[in-house]
Amino acid sequence: MNTPLIAINLKTYAEATGEKAVALAKLCESIDKEHIALACQATDINRVSSVGIDVMAEHVDSAKQGQGTGLVTPEAVKEAGAVGTLLNHSEHRLEREEMEKCIERAKENNLSIILCAEDDKEAEEFANLNVDFIAVEPPDLIGGDVSVTTRPELVSDSVKKVKAKNPDMKVLVGAGVKTKDDIVKALELGAEGVLLASGVVKAADQEEVLNDLVDGL
Catalytic residues: 89, 137
SS3 174: strand
Write the Ramachandran bin of 157: left for phi over 0, alpha for psi from -120 to 50, otherwise beta.
alpha
Q: Express the helix, strand and coil content of the chain in percent, nearest 5 each.
A: 45, 15, 40
- Give dist(CA 24, CA 133) in Å, integer: 23
**8 A C-beta contact, residue 127 and residue 162:** yes
Dihedral in degrees, nearest 10, Cα atoms 203, 6, 27, 49: -120
Do residues 114 and 133 lie in contact, with contact meaning Cβ atoms separated by under 8 Å?
yes
Question: Alpha-carbon distance 107 to 130, whole Å?
Answer: 8
Contacts of 151 (CB under 8 A, 6+ apart): 138
Q: Pairing state of beta strands 54-57 and 84-87?
A: parallel
